[in-house]
Amino acid sequence: MSTASPSIAADPSGSEQPDTDQVSAAAPDTTDTAGQGSTDAAAADLTLIPPPEAVAEYKNPNDLVIDENVRMSFDLDDYPDQEASIRARGVRAPALAQRGPDGTIRVYDGQLRVLLARKVGLESVPVWIAPADPDIEDNEHRIERTLDQITLNDRRIPLSEVDRARGIALMLELGATPTRIAHGLQRKRSEITKVGAIGASPTATQLLGDRKFDLDQLSVIADYEARGDTDAVARLESAGRYNFGYTRRLIDNERTTTKDRLETALAYAVYGFGILTSEPDTDTGYLPIDRLVTEAGEPVTVDHLYADPTRWVVWLAVERGTLLVDTESGVRVEIEEVDWSTRGNPDAVPSEGLRHTDTVTRADEWTPTYYLPEKALPGSGFTIIAPEHDPDAEAAAVAAREQARLDRRRVRVLNERGEAANEHRREFLPRLLTGATLPPDTAAFVAETLAHRLAFDERAQVASLLGIDSSTEALVAAIGAASPNRAWKIVLAMQVAIAELAIGKSLWRDARGSTQRYLRFLAEAAADLNARTADNDFALVDVEQAAARLIDYRDIDIES
């Protein structure tokens, strides 16, 4: 025997409660059912045909066990009308329950009705009781029960998004496929996957209730929480809607760099070197090799390192895409060995002694810095370079080393942020060029930019055609606004492409005037788009603001 999912039927009877424990198989009237909107016309369609072999009985609500239920976020005080109806007329719509092998009767539909009946002190409520099928696994019972609860509650008092997410997460945990759940709830499979991940994440579930982020953003938070990455979860939670995409990119890149660093470090670990996960400060007990000499006063060399690698630790810094290597072998290639005129032309023949651009590719360059822990100095055969006799000179040298380290770190941190900002911004740009509405001042931005790029003779030609003075100022003053149309979008797309090609990861310090104008325009365009839509998360971040000269890059907090 299998317990079928309850179906929906119109109420056939409206019979009153009898004096005995048995009730008629006809379902009672639903007009005053707790958990159903009595003023909702759809409520009349929500009477359930009982499962096969179910027995209709009246039971004391205190003797019933409330089974696992998808609805968790509710308060009985939120249903005063239903409570008043039950107090006056009793429960009219039977709850659905299963009788277990131990005789326990577990209610799986009608939770609110039973709890409200307890609250007002009723001694009996109608219940359809079906025996649990011993041949069906418990997980399968729970999946079907959860599908029924979500579907039925949506047609009564809709579930909160939090309860829905938890219910979907439960079904996935029990082994239901996203396809099955999507079919059962009439939702898209992709939505079920996202919502299920959110429901399994305490942080994402809480934020879902707060409506601070959309489903895509919450699924990212849920993914990081599932990995146990509490730092990423905290940073994403505090990022806010408009900085979310940038923060996610930054975290993704940081985690990728950490993974790549550990993989690169394996080659050093095999020899016995210790691996540092962060660059040490000058006063943290690690001595860089440039501060050491041998007992004979000679510089420390790589041969010294590999003679006893277990004494040493290594920090690996990376520059993304700065190394030129052979496409097949990965061997380093010098830039002077490539005939760059062959780029984009596979059939081009490189000049004698040079190679085609198709034979090289960009790779990451990892630079090791070796340190000797101070505790390993005794007996190592090395000594610290004798300090200057002048204490002030030695202090200045220490300060200079620390400043150089901080400068290197600032470049590295801000380059990482610049890379993340570039990736996030370029994700946003296609949206800027879709739809029927152009960003405000598009025509002025494009025309003014082109005007600043015109050579003298080009500007003179334009001036003669327009009958104006040949100065840039006169040309800019003569530029008129145009109606949004496809041609302007193409022009804007070309201008955006030109601007983007000029931006590198060091944009925060070396942005040109054209880049400054472009980023300021983009900030205004994004603000306008944000005001008209609700499915975006773009705004200029700190490195972009520095590039636009809205802030000074030296004021950026690199510790946050």
The reply to whether 167 and 191 lie within a common domain is yes
pLDDT band at 156 (very low <50, low <70, confident <90, very high): low
* Mean local confidence (pLDDT), 142-153: 66
Q: Of 386, 401, 434, which residue constitutes the final position of a domain?
A: 386
Q: 507 vs 97, which has greater pLDDT?
A: 507
Query: In the prediction, which pLDDT does 250 show?
Result: 92
- 142 and 9 fall within a common domain: yes
In this prediction, residues 297-305 reach a mean pLDDT of 91
CA 389 from centroid of its chain's CA atoms? 56
Report the alpha-carbon distance of residue 302 to residue 313 in Å, rounded. Answer: 13
Q: Does residue 1 register a pLDDT over 70?
A: no
Which one of 82, 116, 147 terminates a domain?
Answer: 147
Pair (288, 376) in one structural domain: yes
pLDDT at 24 over 80: no
Does residue 250 lie in a domain region? no
Q: Is 400 domain-assigned?
A: no
Whether 495 and 521 map to the same domain: the answer is yes
* Domain co-membership, 227 together with 127: no
The answer to the question of residue 244 being in a domain is no
Torsion of CA 387, 389, 394, 397, to 10 degrees: -80
Q: Is the pLDDT at 45 greater than 60, yes or no?
A: no
Q: Which of 122, 147, 172 is the last residue of a domain?
A: 147
Task: Clarify whether residues 13 and 127 are in a common domain.
Answer: yes
Residue 540 has pLDDT above 50, yes or no: yes
Q: What is the DSSP string of 114-171?
A: HHHHHHHT-S-EEEEEEE--TTS-HHHHHHHHHHHHHHHHHTSSPPPHHHHHHHHHHH
Q: With contact defined as beta carbons under 8 Å apart, do 214 and 240 qualify?
A: no
Q: Which pLDDT score is estimated for 153?
A: 59
A 10 A CB-CB count for 79 gives 21
Residues 196 and 316 in one domain: no
Most confident of 74-83, 249-258, 424-433: 249-258
* 399 belongs to a structural domain: no
pLDDT, mean of residues 336-358: 92
| Residue 309 resides in a domain | yes
State the CB neighbour count (10 A cutoff) for residue 281. 12
pLDDT of residue 490: 54
Cα–Cα distances in angstroms (integers) from residue 382 to residues 282, 292, 307, in the given order: 18, 6, 13
| pLDDT at residue 150 in the model | 67
Q: Is 12 part of a structural domain of the chain? A: yes
Same domain? 219 vs 352: no
Residues 539 and 465 in one domain: yes
pTM comes to: 0.59
Position 540 in a domain? yes
Q: Which of 139-153, 177-191, 310-324, 482-496 has the lowest mean pLDDT?
A: 482-496
DSSP-assigned beta bridge partners for residue 455: none
166 and 141 fall within a common domain? no
Whether 503 is in a domain gets the answer yes
For residues 433-452, average pLDDT: 79
Domain identity same for 366 and 424: no
pLDDT at 29: 36
How is residue 43 annotated by DSSP?
A: G
For residue 413, which amino acid is it? Answer: V
**CATH code for the domain of 16:** 3.90.1530
Give me the number of domains the chain comprises.
Answer: 4
Could you tell me if 431 and 548 lie in one domain? yes
Q: Determine contact, residues 315/369, Cβ cutoff 8 Å.
A: yes
Which tens digits make up the pLDDT trace of 207-230?
Answer: 887 778 888 899 999 999 999 999
Q: What average pLDDT does the segment 479-507 reach?
A: 67
Region of 274 please: left (phi>0), alpha (psi -120 to 50) or beta: beta
Exposure b/e, 205-223, CB count within 10 A at least 16 = b: bebbeeeebbbebbbbbbb
Nearest-CA neighbor of 97 among 134, 123, 59? Answer: 59
- Print the domain residue range for 229: 160-239
